[in-house]
Amino acid sequence: MVGLKGNLAPEGAIVKVAGMSNLKFTGPARCFDREEDAFESVQKKTYKEGEVIVSAMRAARRSGMREMLSTTPR
| Arithmetic mean of pLDDT, 62-72 | 61
Each residue of 9-53: pLDDT tens digit? 788 877 777 777 777 778 888 888 888 888 898 899 998 888 888
41-61 burial, b for 16+ CB within 10 Å, e for fewer? bbeeeeeeeeeebbbeebeee
DSSP single-letter state for residue 22: -
pLDDT for position 6: 79
Cα 17 versus chain centre, distance: 11
* Closest CA relative to residue 55, chosen from 13, 18, 2, 10: 13
Please calculate the CA angle 7-42-32 and round it to the nearest 5 degrees: 35
pTM score above 0.75: no
